[in-house]
Each structure stands twice: as C-alpha cells, then as structure tokens.
Amino acid sequence: MGGPGDPPDGTPDGAPGGGGASEDEYRSVVFDESFVRAARLQEFSADERIDDHTPAVRRTPTLRRGLTRQAVLLVVLVLLAFGTALYMGVRSPYRSAPLAARHVDPLRMTVIPLAPTGPVPGADGAGELFAHSPAASFATAADGIDEPRDTHGTAHFSDGQVRTALDLAKQYLVASMLDPDVLTGGAVRPVRALVDPQQLPQFDRSLAHPAADGRYAATGWLLRFDPGQVRLAGSGIRVHGTLDVDETDANSLDVLSDHTFVYALRPAHGDRDARVSLFTVRRAVHFRFDRDDLRGRTAELLASTVQAGPLACATDSSARLHPLLAGQRAGHSGEQDRPAGTDPYATGGPAALCGALAPSAQPSLKP
C-alpha cells in the first residue's frame, strides 16, 4: 500500500519509492486538472454518517460558471427588449401627441344679421309659411343633415374614423342648432360636451361674457333666442345642406358643413294664436378632428359663419338673437336700420356686419 502522499494507483514506475518514470512524468500524471477536481473531497458531518451506508466523504460540487454567464446574458436581453419596446412606443408614427403638446387654434366666428326690406310676413300656421317659402322641400330637423353615403377611408384614417368625424359634426349641429333646450331654454351642456377641451376656455368666456368681436360671441358657438321674446311654433325645424370630409394631413380630418335652418316662431307672450313668422339661419362651420378628438368624441371648431334674419342690424346679436316677428320692420319710426358703429382700430374680426334679407328668402304670401 502506498504512503499518505502516494497516488491512488500506487507509485508510478521509475519514481522514488517505485521505479521507472521520471519526476516530471509523475507530476504530470498526479497533478493535472482532472485529477485535482476528482480529489476535491469533503468529510460528512457526524449526523450525516449515522447511516452505515453513507460514505465518509463527499465530493464538493464545483461552481458552474457557465450558468452564471447565461443568467447575466438573459437579464441583458430582457432589458434590451424592454428598452426597444419603450422606444418604439414613444417614436411610433401612429401615436398622437399628448394633450399638453397639441396646439388648437381659437374659433374664428362671424355673425351677420340680415335686415328685411319691409314688414315680416306672417300667417296663422307654420305649415302655410313653409309651403310658400324656399324651405318647402327641406327635410325636418336632423333628417336634413345628411352624411355622405360613399364615405371611405383616407391615406391615414380608416373608414370608421372618417364616419366618426362626420357623425361628430352632425351631433354638434343637432345640439347647437336643433335642441329646443339650447334654442330657448338656455341649456349649454349638450354643446359644451362636444367641444375640444382646449377650446373650452374660449367657449365658457363666450357664454359668460359675450362680445361682438369675432372671438367671444355666444352665437358663434350655438343658436339661442331670447326666451322672453319668442318661442318655437309647431311643424318642426326645416334643414337643408351638405357635409364634406377631407384629410388635411396625416394627423387630422377636416369636415365642412354648410346648412340652412328655418325656424317657425311666435311671440313668447300674449295670444297663443298669434301669427307665425319664419326665421332663417345659414350656418357654415369648419370642423377639425385629430385622433384625440376621435377617441374623446369632441370637435375642434376652426371657423363659424352665421347669416340670420330677419334681424335688426342695430341689435346686439352676440349673446342671443332677437328675431323680428310677423308684421315688424327693421327700422323704428320710419328710420333706416343701420348696424352699430365699427372701430377700425379694434383688434379681432369685423364685428358690425349687416346685410339685407332678400325678399325672395321670405314666404311669398298673398296680401
């Protein structure tokens, strides 16, 4: 049996205590790396050796460096994938800018009163007036706001997004021009809910402090009558016009609306059988919708032009409209009706505009 320092298989031939091989040959055999790993032994504890079948020593597992490197590589790959996804999400061309980064222009508005050249025609009922007016063939209420039937997607907007833009424009017109609570009841919420959030400060100021300055007229946003002066008569509101949609750029859709609304009105007080007259409003609105508007179901209004009559030019139409009713004239005591004075040094759009209501726009009733 070899001594304590001898290799497991005894002393090689030629080595001291054996014979045959040189010292270098002995060292290469005994102390190579595989031999050293095989010789790493560790003694079991006393408790572990209670079992007779448990060997006195055990082999200590070596550190698996390859597994550690794989774990580090896996973590790096996960972080790289997460960073790439985050970068692509921020840089995606289909992601719209956050609300704070969007720029929405204020609404530009023009309200033009149309003064009659003679007394306003009247009749006992609205049906007779409509039948003898250019509105005889108009549809009633929302049925007159037709969306194009052959709508299709654009280069950057789908069919559904185009239809949503047209539907939102129609909803705004219905709320602002046809809702009885808005027209004579002073309601604001149905219209305000459809306004782009960045235009709400202008909208609120226009309703709270209306001014005929081209920026803050309440009647630039919606139609409202003085409920102490007039009320709606029967037979509904007659409507006729067009809606057109076009892609402005890769981020927005424009909808152009141009409609004529005809209202039958009676005096608010007095005899309920008072004569009825017609009031006509031609309104053109330029809407713009970006993806935030389409998702939030709101509308940005770029421009609104209102021509309405019969009205007196000298009457302020920024807060409410004050129609001339059956038998009334634009001037007082035979004086010619004239618009309020215009200050050419004032900023904003032209405020004191007025036109003449053509006789052909009035019902052609027999005397």
One digit per residue, the tens of pLDDT, for the chain of length 367 reads: 445 555 555 555 554 554 444 555 555 555 556 655 655 555 556 665 555 555 555 555 554 555 577 777 888 888 888 777 777 655 544 444 444 467 889 999 999 999 998 999 999 999 999 999 999 999 999 999 998 888 888 899 999 999 999 999 999 999 999 999 999 988 999 999 999 999 999 999 999 999 999 999 999 999 999 999 999 997 799 999 999 999 989 899 999 999 999 999 999 987 667 899 999 999 999 999 999 999 999 999 999 999 999 999 888 999 999 999 999 998 753 345 555 555 555 555 555 578 889 988 989 876 5
Q: Is the dihedral of CA 95, 98, 103, 107 positive or negative?
A: positive
Phi, psi of 207 (to 5 degrees): -80, -35
Report how many helices (DSSP H) and strands (DSSP E) the chain contains, helices first. Answer: 9, 10
Q: Token match 């939102």: residue?
A: 168
Euclidean distance between CA atoms 120 and 25, whole angstroms: 128
Euclidean distance between CA atoms 145 and 174, whole angstroms: 8
Among 292, 299, 254, CA closest to 162: 254
Phi, psi of 19 (to 5 degrees): 160, 145
Among 219, 187, 215, CA closest to 201: 215
Euclidean distance between CA atoms 94 and 108, whole angstroms: 30
Euclidean distance between CA atoms 277 and 122, whole angstroms: 5
User: Per this entry, what is the length of the chain?
Assistant: 367
